[in-house]
Structure 1
Amino acid sequence: MFWYDHGMGGWGWIAMSLSMVLLVALAIAGVALLLRSADRLSSSPARPPAAPSAKQVLADRFARGEIDEEEYEQRLTVLRAHGPGHGRTGPGET
Protein backbone atom coordinates (compact mmCIF):
# COMPACT_ATOMS: atom_id res chain seq x y z
CA MET A 1 0.00 0.00 0.00
CA PHE A 2 2.34 2.78 1.16
CA TRP A 3 5.63 1.15 0.17
CA TYR A 4 6.25 3.29 -2.90
CA ASP A 5 6.50 7.09 -3.62
CA HIS A 6 7.05 8.11 -0.02
CA GLY A 7 10.73 8.95 -0.38
CA MET A 8 12.06 12.21 -1.75
CA GLY A 9 13.15 12.18 -5.34
CA GLY A 10 16.32 13.84 -6.69
CA TRP A 11 14.77 17.31 -6.90
CA GLY A 12 13.49 17.08 -3.35
CA TRP A 13 16.99 16.49 -2.02
CA ILE A 14 18.40 19.34 -4.11
CA ALA A 15 15.66 21.75 -2.98
CA MET A 16 16.12 20.77 0.66
CA SER A 17 19.92 21.15 0.46
CA LEU A 18 19.73 24.55 -1.23
CA SER A 19 17.14 25.82 1.24
CA MET A 20 19.32 24.77 4.19
CA VAL A 21 22.36 26.52 2.69
CA LEU A 22 20.24 29.62 2.09
CA LEU A 23 18.89 29.54 5.64
CA VAL A 24 22.38 29.29 7.15
CA ALA A 25 23.67 32.07 4.87
CA LEU A 26 20.79 34.34 5.90
CA ALA A 27 21.43 33.62 9.59
CA ILE A 28 25.13 34.43 9.24
CA ALA A 29 24.38 37.62 7.29
CA GLY A 30 21.83 38.69 9.93
CA VAL A 31 24.30 38.18 12.78
CA ALA A 32 27.03 40.02 10.83
CA LEU A 33 24.73 42.99 10.14
CA LEU A 34 23.61 43.09 13.76
CA LEU A 35 27.20 43.14 15.02
CA ARG A 36 28.18 45.73 12.44
CA SER A 37 25.36 48.09 13.40
CA ALA A 38 26.11 47.64 17.12
CA ASP A 39 29.77 48.48 16.47
CA ARG A 40 28.81 51.53 14.45
CA LEU A 41 26.53 52.79 17.22
CA SER A 42 29.13 52.31 19.93
CA SER A 43 31.93 54.01 18.00
CA SER A 44 29.99 57.04 16.74
CA PRO A 45 30.50 60.19 18.80
CA ALA A 46 27.52 61.64 20.63
CA ARG A 47 28.16 65.04 19.11
CA PRO A 48 30.32 66.30 16.26
CA PRO A 49 33.82 67.49 17.12
CA ALA A 50 34.15 71.17 17.91
CA ALA A 51 35.62 73.51 15.33
CA PRO A 52 39.21 74.54 16.07
CA SER A 53 39.75 77.98 17.57
CA ALA A 54 41.27 80.83 15.58
CA LYS A 55 44.52 80.48 17.53
CA GLN A 56 44.66 76.76 16.76
CA VAL A 57 44.10 77.40 13.04
CA LEU A 58 46.85 80.02 13.11
CA ALA A 59 49.23 77.64 14.90
CA ASP A 60 48.44 74.89 12.38
CA ARG A 61 49.18 77.19 9.45
CA PHE A 62 52.47 78.19 11.05
CA ALA A 63 53.37 74.55 11.68
CA ARG A 64 52.66 73.67 8.04
CA GLY A 65 54.86 76.54 6.85
CA GLU A 66 52.06 78.50 5.19
CA ILE A 67 53.02 81.64 7.13
CA ASP A 68 56.34 82.76 8.55
CA GLU A 69 57.11 83.60 12.17
CA GLU A 70 56.66 87.35 11.72
CA GLU A 71 53.19 86.97 10.23
CA TYR A 72 52.30 84.40 12.91
CA GLU A 73 53.29 86.82 15.71
CA GLN A 74 51.38 89.71 14.08
CA ARG A 75 48.20 87.72 13.69
CA LEU A 76 48.51 86.23 17.17
CA THR A 77 48.85 89.74 18.62
CA VAL A 78 45.69 90.82 16.78
CA LEU A 79 43.81 87.78 18.08
CA ARG A 80 44.92 88.43 21.65
CA ALA A 81 44.02 92.12 21.41
CA HIS A 82 40.50 91.50 20.18
CA GLY A 83 39.82 88.45 22.33
CA PRO A 84 37.04 85.93 21.80
CA GLY A 85 33.79 87.23 20.39
CA HIS A 86 35.42 89.99 18.36
CA GLY A 87 35.47 88.86 14.77
CA ARG A 88 35.47 90.53 11.42
CA THR A 89 32.39 92.42 10.49
CA GLY A 90 30.40 91.15 7.57
CA PRO A 91 29.28 93.13 4.52
CA GLY A 92 27.15 96.09 5.44
CA GLU A 93 28.08 95.93 9.14
CA THR A 94 30.11 98.56 10.96
Structure 2
Amino acid sequence: MSTVMGDAMGWMWIWPAMIVFGLLVLGFLALVVTQYRPGGAVTTPHPDRPPARTILDERYARGEIDEEEYRRRKGELP
Protein backbone atom coordinates (compact mmCIF):
# COMPACT_ATOMS: atom_id res chain seq x y z
CA MET A 1 0.00 0.00 0.00
CA SER A 2 2.82 2.41 0.75
CA THR A 3 4.33 1.83 -2.68
CA VAL A 4 1.05 2.78 -4.34
CA MET A 5 0.94 6.00 -2.33
CA GLY A 6 4.59 6.62 -3.03
CA ASP A 7 4.01 6.25 -6.76
CA ALA A 8 0.97 8.53 -6.66
CA MET A 9 2.86 11.22 -4.77
CA GLY A 10 5.60 11.12 -7.35
CA TRP A 11 3.18 12.40 -9.98
CA MET A 12 1.51 15.08 -7.85
CA TRP A 13 3.95 17.75 -9.06
CA ILE A 14 2.46 17.59 -12.56
CA TRP A 15 -0.79 19.46 -11.66
CA PRO A 16 0.83 22.61 -10.26
CA ALA A 17 3.29 22.57 -13.16
CA MET A 18 0.42 22.34 -15.66
CA ILE A 19 -1.42 25.20 -13.96
CA VAL A 20 1.67 27.42 -14.05
CA PHE A 21 2.32 26.50 -17.68
CA GLY A 22 -1.31 27.23 -18.59
CA LEU A 23 -1.16 30.63 -16.89
CA LEU A 24 2.03 31.47 -18.77
CA VAL A 25 0.41 30.53 -22.08
CA LEU A 26 -2.70 32.61 -21.29
CA GLY A 27 -0.55 35.57 -20.29
CA PHE A 28 1.42 35.33 -23.52
CA LEU A 29 -1.76 35.14 -25.60
CA ALA A 30 -3.23 38.15 -23.79
CA LEU A 31 -0.06 40.10 -24.50
CA VAL A 32 -0.11 39.18 -28.18
CA VAL A 33 -3.79 40.07 -28.56
CA THR A 34 -3.44 43.47 -26.87
CA GLN A 35 -0.29 44.40 -28.79
CA TYR A 36 -1.43 43.49 -32.29
CA ARG A 37 -5.11 44.42 -32.10
CA PRO A 38 -5.96 47.62 -33.97
CA GLY A 39 -6.99 50.47 -31.70
CA GLY A 40 -10.56 51.62 -31.39
CA ALA A 41 -11.22 55.27 -32.16
CA VAL A 42 -7.70 56.50 -32.56
CA THR A 43 -7.58 59.63 -34.68
CA THR A 44 -4.54 61.07 -36.30
CA PRO A 45 -4.13 64.79 -35.79
CA HIS A 46 -4.26 67.02 -38.83
CA PRO A 47 -1.28 69.40 -38.80
CA ASP A 48 -3.14 72.03 -40.82
CA ARG A 49 -6.30 71.84 -38.71
CA PRO A 50 -6.65 73.05 -35.09
CA PRO A 51 -7.71 70.44 -32.49
CA ALA A 52 -11.09 72.14 -31.96
CA ARG A 53 -11.90 71.72 -35.65
CA THR A 54 -10.95 68.07 -35.53
CA ILE A 55 -13.26 67.51 -32.56
CA LEU A 56 -16.06 69.37 -34.32
CA ASP A 57 -15.59 67.25 -37.46
CA GLU A 58 -15.68 64.05 -35.41
CA ARG A 59 -18.85 65.10 -33.56
CA TYR A 60 -20.53 65.88 -36.87
CA ALA A 61 -19.40 62.56 -38.34
CA ARG A 62 -20.81 60.65 -35.34
CA GLY A 63 -24.13 62.45 -35.70
CA GLU A 64 -23.92 64.26 -32.36
CA ILE A 65 -24.62 67.62 -34.02
CA ASP A 66 -26.61 68.49 -37.12
CA GLU A 67 -25.36 70.33 -40.21
CA GLU A 68 -26.69 73.71 -39.10
CA GLU A 69 -24.94 73.55 -35.75
CA TYR A 70 -21.79 72.23 -37.42
CA ARG A 71 -21.63 75.18 -39.82
CA ARG A 72 -22.41 77.68 -37.05
CA ARG A 73 -19.68 76.36 -34.77
CA LYS A 74 -17.23 76.04 -37.65
CA GLY A 75 -17.75 79.72 -38.40
CA GLU A 76 -16.98 80.62 -34.78
CA LEU A 77 -13.63 78.85 -34.78
CA PRO A 78 -10.48 80.85 -35.46
Match of 1:92 in 2: none
Question: Residues 53, 32 of structure 1: CA spacing in aligned structure 2 closer, same or farther, 3 A cutoff?
Answer: same
Match of 1:4 in 2: none
TM alignment of 1:1-94, pairs within 5 A? 9-43=3-37, 45=39, 49-50=42-43, 53-58=55-60, 60-62=63-65, 72-73=67-68, 75-83=69-77, 86=78
Unaligned residue ranges in structure 2 (runs of 5+)? 44-50
The structure where helix makes up a greater share of residues is: 2
- Structure with the greater alpha carbon radius of gyration: 1
Aligned length: 66
Question: Residues 29, 54 of structure 1: CA spacing in aligned structure 2 closer, same or farther, 3 A cutoff?
Answer: same
Q: TM-score, normalised by structure 1?
A: 0.46
Q: TM-score, normalised by structure 2?
A: 0.52
% identity of equivalent residues: 8
RMSD of aligned Cα (Å): 3.1
